[in-house]
Chain A
Amino acid sequence: MSLDMSPAALTRAEPRLMRAEPLLTMRDISKTYGDVRALRHVDATVYPGEVMGIVGESGSGKSTLLRMMNLEDTPDSGDYSLRLPNREDGNLFDLTRYERRMLCARHIGIVYQNPHLGLLMKHSSSGNVAERLLIAGERSFDVLRAKAREALDASEFPLSRMDARPIELSGGMQQRVQLAKAIALEPALLLLDEPTTGLDVSVQALVLDTLKRLQRDRKITMVLVSHDLGVIRTMADRVMVMRHGEVVEQGLADQVFQDPQHPYTQQLVHAKL
């Protein structure tokens, strides 16, 4: 018996029971930096309320894809749409820089592996969260303070330290401030780029639990990039496996880890300690 291992065979059927439309749809995204083909014809679909995990070795294109989702970069080709209330469909890559900034501020949150990318290290933690609210147009000091407090609390950040600067905080606390900033406006989509890498295991577990609770209670749709298969297995509903800028396999998280179909995915799963 021979198995058809073509990408088409590995792409599952169209949904029949799921009544919701995808929140995020990316079609045929390609990007080249100099001689490096960072993304090759990538398709991605994420449904409301789910956690999509993206795994792959360094340089596989997973963080590049996440940056595209956050409209930080523009691909050489491809379409990107988000199904948002009061917004017409259209390729988000066609938006102006200002429009992208406003859309991201209101609808997309991101947590970077390196807090320096996501935070103003010498501003207070509450000020970092308030900055996101200011971009979205909030001006009342009392409202800013109250909303920052609420977001920090939801991220399980100790409120006694909300006026501390991130530079004075541990890595785990800095990630919580990033998370509070990312969720302050209740985004439709939360992007997480290696959010627990570099944290010790006990702090990692606490951050993952906070994320899971936020996803459960607020129904936030998440895209989680990690090279840590344990993190992805714990958190994700579905998984995309990337290699050399391509999606080589995608499926339900337990299926990808228990019955990987692609030789690279088998290699990846078997290499896990």
Chain B
Amino acid sequence: MNSTPLLRVDGLTKTFRMYHLDSMLHAFEGVSFDLFEGEFLLLRGHNGAGKSTLLRTIWRSYLPVGGHVWYRSNHGEIDLANAADVDIALLRREEIGFVTQFLNARPRVAAQDIVAEPLLLAGTSQAEALDQARHWLDQFGVRPELWRAYPSTFSGGEQQKVNLARALILPQKLLLLDEPTASLDVGARAALVRRLSDLKAQGVAIIGVFHHPGDVAQLIDREINLNTKVVADQSEEEENVAL
């Protein structure tokens, strides 16, 4: 493992400007922390504390208004907070994954094709990609008779299984998880924990928001509480950080 942080979040600040209300909404200010390869960081906080907003700001679907997110990519270090859009798009294709609780898929595309797509984009052959897609659909408990069906007709839980299979089929360097266990049954939750454990062992760094953190309790190395502004490691040693 590399002793240099994979991610250095420094003074990250997010404010939404809402023109129709002529107002500003301050989500969080001055968030700072480091994340190392193979580390699992849990974000805690009540509804509206800014957990998902922090994830989305790192992912850059939200634009930060201040601070830096230094990321050690395979192409060199870059500040995600101020990087060009095409660089962010490149990193999303190759190194950084984001799992939400919602499947955002094109209509009339079969579940197995949705899951296989990241592999096809990465250059894997059609047959190999479909094989792996079916494997992961099976792992997350999607029944074979649904593999060629369109997920728009699936239940919320089934859609989320397809979402997870797609998001986790290709190992990334950094994985951002926004309540991925919401609406999952026990079997799928167990499959998710197994997959995350494997990825963590491979050195994937993970930042996650979980409605029930107990689901991933054995994987958590550190946590940030956005209510109390405290970061703590697994052994409960706490240190104040700038939040």
Interface of A toward B, CB cutoff 8 Å: 1, 3, 12-19, 47, 50, 201-202, 205-206, 208-209, 212, 216-217, 234, 237-238, 250-252, 254-255, 258-259, 261, 263, 266-267, 270
Contact = CB atoms under 8 A, between A and B. Distances in A.
Contacts of A254: 61
Interface string B43-76: 0000000000000100011110100000001011
Contacts of A267: 19-20
A259 B61 contact: yes
Interface stretch (B32-40, B78-86, B192-200): B78-86
Contacts of A255: 60-63, 85
B128 to A, nearest CB: 15
Nearest to A270: B20
B132 interface: no
B121 interface: yes
Q: DSSP class of B's interface residues: helix, strand, loop or mixed?
A: mixed
B175 interface: no
Q: Which 9 A-B pairs have the closest CB atoms?
A: A263-B19, A205-B107, A15-B84, A205-B108, A254-B61, A17-B75, A17-B87, A259-B62, A18-B86
B1 interface: no
A256 B65 CA distance: 15
B106 to A, nearest CB: 5
A238 B16 CA distance: 21
Contacts of A251: 63, 85
Nearest to B19: A263
B117 interface: yes
A117 to B, nearest CB: 27
Contact of B76 (A1, A17, A252, A258): A17
B90 A17 contact: yes
Nearest to A206: B108
Given A216-B121, A238-B89, A14 B20 contact: no
B60 A252 contact: yes
12 contacts: A1-B26, A13-B83, A18-B84, A19-B75, A50-B86, A208-B106, A209-B106, A238-B85, A238-B86, A238-B89, A252-B61, A261-B63
B88 A14 contact: no
B117 A216 contact: yes
A195 to B, nearest CB: 15
A3 B63 CA distance: 11
Given A206-B108, A209-B106, A254-B61, A12 B84 contact: yes
A251 B109 CA distance: 26
B120 interface: yes
B15 interface: yes
Given A208-B107, A234-B106, A259-B61, 16 more contacts: A1-B15, A12-B84, A16-B83, A17-B87, A47-B86, A50-B89, A201-B107, A205-B106, A209-B109, A217-B120, A251-B85, A259-B56, A261-B17, A266-B19, A267-B20, A270-B20
Contacts of A12: 82-85
B78 A17 contact: yes
Nearest to A13: B84
B90 A259 contact: no
Contacts of A18: 84, 86-87, 90
Contacts of B91: 17
Contacts of A3: 15, 17, 65
A31 to B, nearest CB: 26
Contacts of A252: 60-61, 85, 88-89
Nearest to A239: B85
Contacts of B18: 266
B186 interface: no
B24 interface: yes
